[in-house]
């Protein structure tokens, strides 16, 4: 191939690529990223939304990584909606709006072989801050050995909620094992008889759910406001929600089918 | 035509070098605020590193009030401990395995071993992490950690099976195959006349391996160790799963319990805390960790090159 033909070929290839990119973006794509607690709910909603008339043809991409990843991504415009399971903080980037779409209960969980089910705030603080290190000092525990704590990494929204609702002003024991997601905490407590941790209510299979201040951790108690450990799920948008994001968020808040999905394992918006 | 190909290949090679240099400079610049705010105490011990990371993460939004205080000693100690122990154990194991494969293995076993070793070198590290956390960690928790042992350190750290013992063990399994492959190639490339000369002098197989072939292959052993150490330094997800996710410095004075205590090397710290990058001082601290890892890898490569040069002075002209 001589020189002119070669350069012409390059020019053609570049032009084709430039034309192809906007053409591929015709169908609406909604990307969500953020909290591992909100992701299962968002997935169920997305699966229902594409079957509705207004959501037909929408493509969903759901990524995880934790509430702070979601907030950082939306503030830079990298995704359509950011998922957050924690309240806004003063250090969050500016210009973002937190739209509440559901509420969730944080449950204290122990291994079924141990089966502790009654907690009050003092006991939770003493256990998680390391003042009590042995199950023999905890009333109702079948285990007698050392307590194994499973907590979340600092950037987790569940961790933030746990700190605010249960722990403050106490700090978590420095030797506690930090896990990166709800699923890993669930798996760790399932496999360790002396384990205790906190998870979102959707991740309590195979574990004994503890009651807090006399109220068992369940969705009904969370909805009625009796259970103390409730936190909000937010869909975060850049500025107020517009376009496909606004349609989706309004659908999740008002549509009956969407509220029914949320009520299966979380506390719905209405 | 030749001149143009030379220019093109040179351009490609320089692009890669520029990319790497650019990456190192970028990471160093981004992580500099963490170093300048802490000075030399960044490398020391002092306080609970997890609590310090949490405080950095919860810094107020005003740039003048950013919190940077960090004493990353436990993390550096964990990295050096796990990587160093894994390299030492793997080198010994890989050398002995390579000698077996080259000299002592019956033909049928050698035919099976060699492809299997190369296959193992290509297994993704997440698989080792899964096997570790599903099989090895519960076994250690049930059999090696007695209640007395847990109570003896209960107010300092919890022993739940994830430990540096499991981390070093699985890291050895992970990096040995590549070392075995490299050392086998090196032992095979020793000129056959040298080993024949040893046989002619009446030396047995083991002795000729040890005094002739292995000595000649020393530069390759160093190269294999450097390659494996680079992989071990960068191992993040597997170690985060099995070596414990606590920024704790295991205490050798605890005796055997030392091996059952958890630790978290630098790469695992970055991966566990990657979610918090949007908070500016936290992101800069993560970049500082990455800068330390890059500089250590560079130093390791340089050290390996220097060691190989000095070793090849003592072999005959074959190198």
How many whole angstroms separate alpha carbon B287 and alpha carbon B306?
28
Q: Containing H/E element for A179?
A: strand A177-179
Say if residue A26's pLDDT is above 60: no
Tell me the shortest Cα–Cα distance from B31 to chain A, in angstroms: 19
Q: Identify the closest residue of chain B to A33 by CA–CA distance.
A: B275
Provide the pLDDT for residue A23: 47
**Are A174 and B51 in contact (CB < 8 Å)?**
yes
A179 - beta bridge partners? Answer: A152
Interface of B with A (CB under 8 A): 48, 50-51, 53-54, 57-61, 138, 141, 147, 150-151, 154-162, 240, 244-246, 248, 262, 272-279, 282
d(CA A210, CA A213): 10
Kindly determine whether residue B246 and residue A174, on different chains, have CB atoms separated by under 8 Å: yes
Q: What is the ipTM of this complex?
A: 0.71
CB burial readout B98-124, b (16+ within 10 A) else e: bbbbbeebeeeeeeebbeebeeebeee
Chain A positions in Cβ-Cβ contact with residue B274 (cut-off 8 Å): 65, 69
Q: Kindly report the nearest CA distance between residue A33 and chain B, in angstroms.
A: 11
Smallest Cα distance from B240 to chain A, Å: 9
Give the distance from residue B53's alpha carbon to the nearest chain A alpha carbon, in angstroms: 8
Position with higher pLDDT, A174 vs B104: B104
Inter-chain contact A146–B150, Cβ cutoff 8 Å?
A: yes
Tally of CB atoms within 10 A around A112: 13
| DSSP code at position B214 | H
Q: B69 vs B318, which has greater pLDDT?
A: B69
Query: How far is it, in rounded angstroms, from Cα A46 to Cα A43?
Result: 5
* Nearest C-alpha in A relative to B53: A154
B30 by Cβ neighbours in 10 Å (0-12 / 13-18 / 19+) ranks as middle
Joined together, the tokens standing for residue B82 give 């796990």
Report pLDDT digits (tens) over A231-251.
889 999 998 888 888 999 999
Reported as a pLDDT band with limits 50, 70 and 90, residue A17 is: low
How do residues A96-106 score in pLDDT, each as one tens digit?
Answer: 999 999 988 89
Cβ(A173)–Cβ(A148) below 8 Å:
no
- Residue B161: the pLDDT is 87
Dmax (CA) for chain A in angstroms is: 86
A173: closest CA of chain B, how far (Å): 9
Q: Does B138 contact A191 at a Cβ distance shorter than 8 Å? A: yes
Q: How far is CA B231 from each of CA A30, A50, B121, rounded to the nearest angstrom? A: 37, 44, 11
Chain B residues close to A178, C-beta within 8 Å:
50, 245-246, 272
Reduced to 3 states, what is the DSSP secondary structure of residue B128?
A: helix
Instruction: Inform me whether the pLDDT recorded for A40 exceeds 70.
Output: yes
Average pLDDT over residues B52-56: 88
Please compute the mean of the pLDDT values over residues B174-199 and round it to a whole number: 93
Report the pLDDT averaged over residues A98-122.
89
Q: Establish, for the pair of chains A and B, how many residue pairs have beta carbons separated by less than 8 Å.
A: 98
Cβ of B57 within 8 Å of Cβ of A90? The answer is: no
Question: What value does the mean pLDDT take over residues A81-106?
Answer: 88
Which residues numbered 182-241 in A keep a CB inside 8 Å of some CB on B? 188, 191-192, 194-195
Q: Minimal Cα–Cα distance from A204 to chain B, Å?
A: 19
Average pLDDT over residues B214-237: 90
Kindly determine whether residue A155 and residue B275, on different chains, have CB atoms separated by under 8 Å. yes
CB-CB neighbors (< 8 A) of A191 in chain B: 138
The tens digit of pLDDT for each residue in B226-275 reads: 999 999 998 998 998 899 888 889 988 888 899 999 999 999 999 888 77
State whether A153 and B273 contact (CB < 8 Å). Answer: yes
SS (H, E, C) B141-172: HHHCCCHHHHHHCCCCCCCCCCCHHHHHHHHH
Q: What percent of chain B has pLDDT over 90?
A: 55
Scanning A104-143 for CB atoms below 8 A from B yields 130, 133-134
Q: How far apart are CA B312 and CA B315, in angstroms?
A: 5
Q: What is the pLDDT of residue B314?
A: 64
Q: Identify the structural domains of chain B with CATH numbers, from first to last.
A: 2-311 (1.10.3720.10)
Using a CB-CB cut-off of 8 Å, the residues of chain A touching B57 are 154-155
Dihedral sign from CA coordinates of A24, A30, A35, A40: negative
Q: Which of A112-121, B76-85, B278-287 has the highest mean pLDDT?
A: B76-85
Q: What is the token pair recorded at B152?
A: 């003896």
Looking at residue B319, its pLDDT comes to 46
Chain B nearest CA to A231, separation (Å): 19
- DSSP code, position B209: I
Mean pLDDT (chain A, rounded)? 85
**In angstroms, what CA-CA distances link B110 with A126, A161, B105, B176?**
59, 58, 6, 17
As a whole number, mean pLDDT of residues B95-106 equals 94
Buried b (16+ CB within 10 A) or exposed e, B197-221: ebeeeebeeeebbeebbbebbbbbb
Average confidence (pLDDT) over B179-208: 92
Two tokens, residue B231: 């992989």
Stronger pLDDT, A116 or B290, i.e. the higher one: B290
CB contact under 8 A, B138 and A68: no
Measured between alpha carbons, how far is A117 from A229 in angstroms, rounded to an integer?
A: 15
The pLDDT, as a whole number, for residue A1 is 56
pLDDT surpassing 50 at residue A25 = no
């Amino acid at each position: 191939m001589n020189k002119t033909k070669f350069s012409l070929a390059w020019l053609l290839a570049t032009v084709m690529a430039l034309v192809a990119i906007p053409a591929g973006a015709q169908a609406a794509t909604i990307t969500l990223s953020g909290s591992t607690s909100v992701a299962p709910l968002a997935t169920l909603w997305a699966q229902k939304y594409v079957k509705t008339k207004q959501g037909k043809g929408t493509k969903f991409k759901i990524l995880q990584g934790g509430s702070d990843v979601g907030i950082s991504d939306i503030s830079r415009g990298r995704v359509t909606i950011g998922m957050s399971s924690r309240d806004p903080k003063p250090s969050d980037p500016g210009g973002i709006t937190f739209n509440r779409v559901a509420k969730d209960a944080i449950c204290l969980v122990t291994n079924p072989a141990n089966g502790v089910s009654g907690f009050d705030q003092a006991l939770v603080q003493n256990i998680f801050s390391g003042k009590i290190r042995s199950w023999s000092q905890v009333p109702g525990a079948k285990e007698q050995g050392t307590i194994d704590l499973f907590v979340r990494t600092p950037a987790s929204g569940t961790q933030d909620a746990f700190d605010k609702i249960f722990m403050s002003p106490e700090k978590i024991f420095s030797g506690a094992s930090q896990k990166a997601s709800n699923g890993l905490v669930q798996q760790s407590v399932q496999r360790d008889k002396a384990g205790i941790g906190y998870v979102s209510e959707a991740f309590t299979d195979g574990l004994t759910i503890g009651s807090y201040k006399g109220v068992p951790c369940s969705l009904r108690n969370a909805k009625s406001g009796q259970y103390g450990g409730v936190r909000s799920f937010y869909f975060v948008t850049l500025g107020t929600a517009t376009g496909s994001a606004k349609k989706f968020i309004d659908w999740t808040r008002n549509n009956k089918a969407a509220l029914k999905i949320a009520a299966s394992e979380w506390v719905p918006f209405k | 035509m030749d001149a143009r190909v030379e220019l093109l290949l040179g351009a490609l090679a320089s692009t890669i070098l520029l990319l790497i240099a650019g990456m190192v400079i970028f990471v160093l610049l981004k992580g500099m605020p963490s170093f300048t705010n802490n000075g030399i105490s960044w490398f020391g011990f002092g306080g609970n590193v997890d609590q310090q990371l949490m405080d950095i993460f919860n810094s107020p939004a005003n740039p003048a009030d950013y919190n940077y205080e960090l004493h990353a000693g436990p993390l550096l100690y964990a990295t050096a401990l796990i990587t160093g122990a894994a390299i030492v154990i793997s080198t010994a194991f890989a050398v002995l395995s390579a000698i077996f494969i080259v000299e002592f293995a019956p033909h049928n076993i050698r035919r099976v071993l060699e492809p299997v070793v190369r296959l193992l070198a290509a297994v993704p590290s997440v698989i080792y992490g899964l096997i570790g956390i599903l099989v090895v960690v519960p076994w250690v928790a049930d059999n090696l950690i007695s209640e007395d042992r847990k109570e003896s350190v209960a107010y300092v750290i919890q022993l739940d099976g994830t430990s540096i013992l499991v981390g070093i063990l699985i890291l050895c399994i992970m990096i040995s195959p590549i070392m075995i492959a490299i050392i086998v190639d090196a032992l095979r490339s020793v000129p056959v006349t040298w080993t024949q000369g040893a046989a002619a002098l009446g030396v047995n197989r083991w002795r000729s391996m040890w005094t002739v072939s292995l000595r000649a292959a020393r530069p390759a052993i160093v190269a294999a160790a450097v390659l494996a150490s680079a992989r071990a330094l960068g191992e993040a997800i597997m170690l985060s799963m099995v070596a414990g996710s606590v920024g704790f410095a295991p205490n050798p004075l605890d005796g055997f319990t030392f091996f059952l205590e958890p630790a978290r090397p630098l790469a695992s710290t970055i991966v566990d805390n990657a979610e918090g990058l949007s908070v500016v001082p936290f992101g800069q601290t993560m970049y500082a960790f990455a800068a330390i890892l890059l500089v250590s890898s560079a130093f390791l490569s340089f050290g390996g090159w220097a060691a190989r040069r000095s070793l090849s002075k003592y072999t005959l002209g074959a190198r």
